[in-house]
Structure 1
Amino acid sequence: MASGRPNKLAFLSQAAPAGYVAGLGRGASGFTTRSDIGPAREGPSAEAIAAARAKRGEEEEEEEDERFQDPEEEHGLFASAVYERDDEEADRIWESVDRQMDERRRKQREARERAELEDERRKTPKIQAQFADLKRNLTSVSAEEWAALPEPGNLTAKRRKAAAARESRDNRTYALPDSVLVGARDQNQVQNEAADVDMEGTKSSLGGTVSSLTEIGEARNKVFSHQLDQASSSSSIASSGLSSSIDPKGYLTELSGISVKSNVEIGDIKKARSLLDSVIKTNPKHAPGWIAAARLEEVAGKMAVARKVIAQGCEQCPKSEDVWLENARLNTTENAKVILAKAIQHLSQSVNIWLRAEKIENDTESKKRVLRKAIEHVPNSVMLWKRLVNLEESPEDARILLAGAVEAIPLSIELWLTLARLSTPEEAKSVLNKARRTIPTSHEIWVAAARLLEQMGESPDKVDKTIAAAVSSLEKAGAMLSREQWFREAEQAERDGSPLTCAAIVKASIYLDIDVEDRNRVWVEDAQSSLEQNYPETARAIYQCALQEFPDDVSIWQGAVNLERGHGTRESLEQLLEQAVTNCPKAEKLWLVYAEEKARKHDIEGARQVLIRAFDNNLGSEAISLAAAALEAEQGDKQAASMLLERARREVNTVRVWIKSVQFERGEGSIESALTLAQDGLKQFPQAAKLHMMHGQLFESRNTPESLNEARDAYAKGRQNCPESVALWLLSSRLEERMKLSTRARALLEKARRAHDKSDTVWAESVAVELRSGSVAQAKSLLARGLQACPTSGLLWSMSIWQEPKQARKTRAADALRRSGDSSYVICTVARLFWQEGKYTQARSWFDKTIAADRDWGDGWGWWYAFEDEQARNHDGGAKEQLLEKIAIADPRHGEEWQLLRKAPENAKRSAKELLPELASILINKYGSQS
Structure 2
Amino acid sequence: AKERGDSEATMASAAAKQPSKNATKGSAGAGGGAAAGGAAVPLASPLMGGLNKKKKPFLGMPAPLGYVPGLGRGATGFTTRSDIGPARDANDPVDDRHAPPGKRTVGDQMKKNQDDDDEDLNDTNYDEFNGYAGSLFSSGPYEKDDEEADAIYAALDKRMDERRKERRELREKEEIEKYRMERPKIQQQFSDLKRKLAEVTEEEWLSIPDVGDARNKRQRNPRYEKLTPVPDSFFAKHLQTGDNHTTVDPRQGQFGGLNTPFPGGLNTPYPGGMTPGAGELDMRKIGQARNTLMDMRLSQVSDSVSGQTVVDPKGYLTDLNSMIPTHGGDISDIKKARLLLKSVRETNPHHPPAWIASARLEEVTGKLQVARNLIMKGTEMCPKSEDVWLEAARLQPGDTAKAVVAQAVRHLPQSVRIYIRAAELETDIRAKKRVLRKALENVSKSVRLWKTAVELEEPEDARIMLSRAVECCPTSVELWLALARLETYENARRVLNKARENIPTDRHIWITAAKLEEANGNTQMVEKIIDRAITSLRANGVEINREQWIQDAEECDKAGSVATCQAVIRAVIGIGIEEEDCKHTWMEDAESCVAHNALECARAIYAHALQVFPSKKSVWLRAAYFEKSHGTRARKLLAKARSSAPTARVSDRGFSVLVVEARVLLQVFMKSVKLEWVLGNIAAAQELCSEALKHYEDFPKLWMMKGQIEEQSENMDKAREAYNQGLKKCPHSMPLWLLLSRLEERVGQLTRARAILEKSRLKNPQTPELWLESVRLEYRAGLKNISNTLMAKALQECPSSGILWAEAVFLEARPQRKTKSVDALKKCEHDPHVLLAVAKLFWSERKITKAREWFLRTVKIEPDLGDAWAFFYKFELQHGTEEQQEEVKKRCENAEPRHGELWCTESKHILNWQKKIGEILVLVAVKIKNTF
Question: Smaller-chain TM-score range?
Answer: 0.3 to 0.5
Determine which structure has the larger helix proportion and give its number.
1
TM-score (ref. length: structure 2): 0.43
TM-score (ref. length: structure 1): 0.43
